[in-house]
Structure 1
């Protein structure tokens, strides 16, 4: 198999990983570490800038359309530190005029008091990890905030000059009933955030929940939660545009959309991943940075742990794995522009998905059907088995 279409440069985003948390949650499989007595904020920011410098050749004359500062708990950093970091990034890569700059935050009082400072630093979107509005569930999830702090954080985010903010909410929690799940969701909707990420708890390997699994709701309850929850979100004016993302008009999360549209992104910080298109070489590469803070901060080490070329056989699967998360139609021309491959490489697999009732061929686009959205993993399995 060989590429038969020139790769075009997609939009470029930046992901910045800050690895420290107050404590590790039992469901979390992200690269996070319990904070030391003193977080080495200045040393880490300096290392982030060195990391960015080493990746500047991947920018290829593009502006940044979005920045996402994730973790860990980035709101443990000072507003002054975030301001310095963003200024250093802007000095090296131009920002798009309407750039979206998101910072993940927890609803604890300590972080909430810093919200206005983060806005002054250049952040224009917050993503607040509420997860539940029930005290007993927050305790089981290892969260260190309470329902009152969660509501206070949302009220404060609504009052400061942000472009948008997101509230994260989980469902399918241990022993959760339909009634309690809807109570959580109704409570989040009542806070009227511009964006809600509403997603099911999954048990990931190498987590405390994996070693000591809690009792989760059965499939019938999970389906009822999803069905009724989707109806309530739609009735409240939230549009589902991705598997677990709901936004009011004008408030879709641009950074994640770039991931799902198979755009490019630089990844700096502990364990951060990047994806870069190289038109001159006609290839796509991925990068992964050193995971542990101790190794990342070691000035004698290369911060890039791994760099590899995405094989042509993997490009098809990775493209559709991301693209089909969005509920919007997929332009057929985009596949070749983003992968450098002829659509012929996936033709039989796509036909199987169409015949199976998972995809509609709409002429210039493909669209997942209602059945395809419910059984997305099955669709992806079909596409993985390319001929």
Structure 2
């Protein structure tokens, strides 16, 4: 989720106060809180990847990085004091490059400093490579209770085109190990791969389904700026072919009993990713680690303000700046005029929609501010509006960017 540039901090007031020139706000308490931890290293940078990831080098010191993460967390404690953490997500990069001992130390340090809910979801992103898969038992012992495996494809030709370091056999073996140690796990699949056919995309899906995963993420390969694929684009399937893949994948997963609960997320009932649901319902998340982003609702002299943060991106600079007591590179307030778009940009990713009351709970603003645009979108067949639910239609999901544009601040 990208940060929006703004240097001006506009506080969001508590219930009973009044926005200048407007109606009373009803922002009474902060939303649920999650913790995101970023591990920036990977074995090799994939040509499609635009995340903050860097190829691991021999001089990388995992003990020093874990100690820096703990110091970063300690510096952030005043901003989340007294709040319970509902989910933890360790992403990257490739966090499964960490040793089981390092992960155990890290999660113990988190538990000592933050109160976790008893049922807190703790997710780790993992590479299916043999070396990482061998650590799955240690990750479970450390407290990870949900694993997300970056499979992408079971076709060796496509894996090679994507620059992945694992092959199909390693992917299958990793999934079997994941099933042994984790009740909750996710498989990432991509479609629209270089020279991929509809039949090949569906073969990948059928292979994934043969493992009965509780959760699947299926998303189309896109050419992101500042990636190798953007500089040297591969030959991708035509748009109509990709649309056919999407339709076929959604239909097959529905037939298999998966709930399509978010743009690219499918789960068996009860196995939705709680961490991502907190993002999409505009919850708070503290982000620590190189380049990590965060969104926090912080008290101030007027009540609360919604703040976005970003840690220093380059790992070496991040370590230096945390040691100097300056882990946050950028911080800015989300203005009251921006909050409706920020909320809807997340909540309208949910296929089942959201309770209208959630808008006011998460933004402190009355829904009346956007009611006119919501009704217009409903007349155009992009939304359904009901007293207890606002949801995108199938057409709205297909044209989500166009739907969201109408809520951008003037």
CA drift at 1:163: 3.5
Query: In the alignment, what sits opposite 1:292?
Result: 314
Contact 1:108/1:150, CA 8 A, preserved across alignment = yes
Question: Is 1:186 aligned with 2:206?
Answer: yes
Partner residue, 1:339? 363
Equivalence for 2:5: none
**Distance in 2 of aligned mates of 1:342 and 1:301:** 39
Matched-pair contact (CA < 8 Å) for 1:67–1:100? yes
Q: Separation in 1 of the partners of 2:224 and 2:365?
A: 33
Please list every run of 5 or more consecutive structure 1 residues that lacks an aligned counterpart in the other structure. none
Cα displacement (A) at 1:378? 1.3
Spell out, residue by residue over 1:272-297, the C-alpha distance to the aligned partner (whole angstroms, 9 max, x if none): 00101125532100110000011011
Partner of 2:253: 233
Residue number among 156, 167, 174 corresponding to 2:187 in the alignment:
167
Alignment match, 2:36 = 15
The residue correspondences of 1:65-214 to structure 2 (distance < 5 A) are: 65-160=86-181, 162-214=182-234
Number of equivalences? 385
CA distances 1:267-325 after superposition (whole Å, capped 9, x unpaired): 00000001011255321001100000110111236111011101111111110000011
Aligned residue among 213, 236, 251 for 1:216: 236
Shift of 1:344: 2.3
Deviation of 1:106 (Å):
0.3
Secondary structure at 2:57's aligned position in 1? coil
Indicate how the Cα distance of structure 1 residues 21 and 51 shifts in structure 2: closer, same or farther if over 3 A, else same: same
> For the Cα contact (< 8 Å) 2:338–2:409, is it kept in 1?
no
Matched, 1:48 2:72: no
Q: TM-score, normalised on structure 1?
A: 0.97
Q: Secondary structure at the match of 1:198?
A: strand
Q: What secondary structure, in the 3-state scheme, does the structure 1 residue paired with 2:406 have? A: helix
In the alignment, structure 2 segments of 5+ residues that lack a partner are: 1-20
Q: What residue in structure 2 maps to residue 383 of structure 1? A: 407
- 1:385 offset after TM fit, Å? 5.8
1:274 aligns with 2:298: no
* TM-score after normalising by structure 2: 0.91
Alpha-carbon distance in structure 1 between the residues aligned to 2:251 and 2:159: 25
Give the whole-Å Cα distance in 2 for the aligned partners of 1:359 and 1:344. 16
Equivalent of residue 51 in structure 2, options 23, 30, 46: 30
What SS class does the counterpart of residue 330 from structure 1 fall into?
A: coil
TM superposition outliers: structure 1 runs of 4+ over 4 Å: none
CA-atom RMSD, angstroms?
1.3
